[in-house]
Amino acid sequence: MKFHCPRLPHLIALLLGALSVLGFAPFYFYPVTIISMAGLFYLWYQSPSAKHAWWLGFSFGLGLFGAGIYWIYISLHDFGGMPATMAVVATFCLSAFMALFPAATGWLSRKLGAQYLTIPLFWVLMEWVRSWIFTGFPWLLAGYSQIPGSPLTGFAPVLGIHGVSLAVAISASLLAWALLHRRNLPFLGKSALLLCTLWLAGGLLKLNTWSTPTGEPVSVALVQGNITQDLKWENDTLRQTLQQYLDMSLQSHAKLIILPETAFPLVSSQIPPDYLQQLADHAKHNGGDILIGTVEKQDGAYYNSMLSMGQSAEQAYRKTHLVPFGEFIPLKQAFGWIYENWLNIPLTDLARGGFQQRPMHIAGQQVAINICYEDVFGEEIIHQLPQATLLVNTSNDAWYGESLAAYQHLQIAQARALETARMMLRSTNTGATAIIDTNGQVLAHAKHFTTTTLEGTAQGYVGMTPYVRWGNWPMLAFLFTALGLLWVRKKK
């Protein structure tokens, strides 16, 4: 296919990138992302040069991230106080940086020879790099678009989300390759056979049971306080916030009560002791425990923490993977002036908790806790497994207003449940508070931006998925081995 307007392919790539967002939550139209990527790959197959492929990938990335993470503007401007123009520029710069990864995929694939396997390998390699470079931002990975309904999610417990991304990229590549060779009937048959085999394998893996129940189901209460972000850290509303969470907790008879991230917007040592005693006594009366989110100070350092109290011994989890420019300032001497002049964000100088923290033994379960952004990193979640029988995520996505962010975050949590074959409980300030089963299905979901308590039951599980055992290593070994073989073949 030849285009008379040289810029038309780039416009098409931009629109395809924006369209692919429909595969992610809250839309869950998972075939759309595969079709969108197939359109990009088709353009890459016909690209006349590596430079042209670079700009096609960059255009796709701008569409994907421009439409997918526009909510960064809300956090910077609406709640962070950054001037609108600067917030637009900052959001665009982040989207443009993220777009460099599909751009690099196009350039590298064209250099190595754009074949039906080359592009998927580089696509997943770039997603993996994006998951750790500069502390990582693995948002909108292709694999997430398939959670939880696609047959391709069967690869999640085996190879993790990057394995699902590879299956998505191979599917898109086969579609594009077949379209490119649509007049070659034998080739079309071969492509169809490979595609069907891939999807059948995913579907069969999805039928496998990777974990087994342990113990009795536990009654849970996920408290959603719905404290607006613009008032959350105001001293005038502190007393009201404390009273609201106390009242909501005392009304629950659940064995495990979970409050969201930084539910108490003050240092734990400043919380009145009699207040904490009321919570602990109520948890004991229920025969269980309560988890509270607050800021903890230890040895002069401040931590974003979850503290337990009740029938079990008091325990603490301290957030390990902090949000850059949100919970700490990288290169503070270079970027500190932004906060002094344009931003009003609390807790930008937090310390990291240890990577060797173990699950909490509370409410008769071994509970692996992760706070907010941490559940984006599957390879870090499995540090507490297989000992953990239950996963808990506490978040405050109020920073992003009534946008797609909370729904996308929920989909990411669904992927963690699939990878580990554990139930996931999410307690959030404004949404998405939810109970997720081991298949990544949402069993219960509280309405966003309402003051409510989501009641339900959670079952603990034991067992070890291949991903829990090996993490990303099998996926990475396959990627680098396959790319090495393709490179040697090209050289010959």
- Which positions ≥6 away from 344 have C-beta within 8 Å? 80, 81
Active-site position among 127, 206, 296, 372: 372
Contact 162, 143 (CB under 8 A): yes
- Per DSSP, the three-state class of 32 is helix
Is 255 an annotated catalytic residue? Answer: no
Q: What is the DSSP letter of 20?
A: G
- Could you tell me how many residues make up the chain? 492
Helix 118-130 and helix 30-45: axis angle, to 10°?
120
In order, the DSSP letters of 291-330 are EEEEEEEETTEEEEEEEEEESSPPEEEE--SPPBTTTB-T
Q: What are the φ and ψ backbone dihedral angles of 374, each rounded to 5 degrees? A: -65, -30
Contact 24, 411 (CB under 8 A): yes
Residue 485's alpha-carbon distances to 121, 401, 491, in angstroms, are 12, 47, 10
By DSSP bridging, strand 301-310 and strand 315-318 are antiparallel
Is 93 an annotated catalytic residue? Answer: no
Residues forming a β-bridge with 480:
none
- Per DSSP, the three-state class of 343 is coil
Is 372 an annotated catalytic residue? Answer: yes
Contact 221, 310 (CB under 8 A): no
- Per DSSP, the three-state class of 194 is helix
Sheet containing strand 424-428, strands side by side: 360-362, 365-371, 390-395, 424-428, 434-436, 442-445
Active-site position among 127, 261, 374, 419: 261
Please tell me the distance from the alpha carbon of residue 412 to that of residue 139, in angstroms, as a whole number. Answer: 8
Active-site position among 255, 319, 374, 379: 319
* Upper half-sphere CA count for residue 218 (Cβ side, 13 Å): 32
By DSSP bridging, strand 424-428 and strand 434-436 are antiparallel
- Which positions ≥6 away from 393 have C-beta within 8 Å? 369, 370, 371, 372, 374, 375, 413, 416, 424, 425, 426, 427
Which residues are catalytic, by number? 261, 319, 372
